[in-house]
Amino acid sequence: MTSNQTLTLPYQAPWDWQQFHGHFRLRAIAGQECLGERDYCRSFRLGEITGWFRVTAPSDGHALTLEHSTSAIACQPLLVQRVRRMFDLDADPALIAAHFAADQHLAAMLARNPGLRLPTAFDAFEQAVRAIVGQQVTVKAAVTITGRLVDRLGEPLADAPAGIDRLFPTPEALAAANLDGIGMPGKRVQTLQHFAAQIASGALRLGIDQGASELIERLCALPGIGPWTAEYIALRAFGDADAFPASDLGLLKAPIWGSTGITARQLQLHAEAWRPWRAYAAAHLWHNYSGG
């Protein structure tokens, strides 16, 4: 196993490794991802290139270190761009804090967690699959089922660090697979495979070049994908700063709304004042709701 070099990825403080550690601890898929006390390692596919990378968060200094497989030299600029987005290293925390200063609830949350960012997926297709699998089930159940997909359909990866030996399945593999006994209702399997087939054929392209609302519209036009799934994909797959899944239970039941919670319509209206940073408001509400 060889690695060509280590890169430094700077960010504007504050930035909190513990937030990302907590995020990955709940979601890491064995064989594809490995989480250490101060580092995160995973396999990746970028076009025709496959390999692995490891991000380490030193306890001092305002930068992460990125180590990667030799194969990644050929796609290093794109890999760096994806990793920076994944760990939300380009956010300006002072700008976001200033925007939320007028909202007493959010201002208080920001004061408690000034380094909170928006953890984003490395790969948009993988995140979309996770969101579809995760419809109406717990995060833990979704990770278990997605892990089965990786086990069953992911290609093996050689010469990677211990614990990393598989790639996430391709759209083609997912679309064509027999998913009997995978642990999902038949309807959700149909939704997942139809989505994968649309991506494989090129009929659907995952991207927010035309804006997140255009992607959300295209996703909602697919059978079995509603606004929550589509908004969540925009938020988690692309780190869109204003994506906001207003029907999300964790947002509706956040402690700031009191014991009765709030309706999705009320939340939608309340969140207008949070534009263009609604996704960061969601990150704070989720953190406040779950305590992690």
144's tokens: 């278990």
Tell me the Ramachandran region of residue 291: left when phi exceeds 0, alpha when psi lies from -120 to 50, beta otherwise: left
| Amino acid (one-letter) located at 75 | C
248 included as an active-site residue? yes
d(CA 278, CA 172): 34
Residue 70's contacts (CB-CB under 8 Å, 6 or more residues apart) are 2, 3, 4, 51
DSSP letter string, 76-106: HHHHHHHHHHHTTTT--HHHHHHHHTT-HHH
- Based on its alpha-carbon atoms, the radius of gyration of the chain, rounded to whole angstroms, reads 19
**Per-residue CA distances from 134 to 84, 138, 139, 218 (Å):** 25, 7, 7, 19
Of residues 46, 56, 43, 67, the one with CA closest to residue 162: 43
The catalytically annotated residue of 88, 123, 240, 248 is: 248
- The answer for residues whose C-beta is within 8 angstroms of residue 94's C-beta and 6 or more apart is 12
What is the Cα–Cα distance from 83 to 116, expressed in whole angstroms?
A: 17
What tokens were used for 216?
């959300």
Catalytic residue positions, numbered = 248
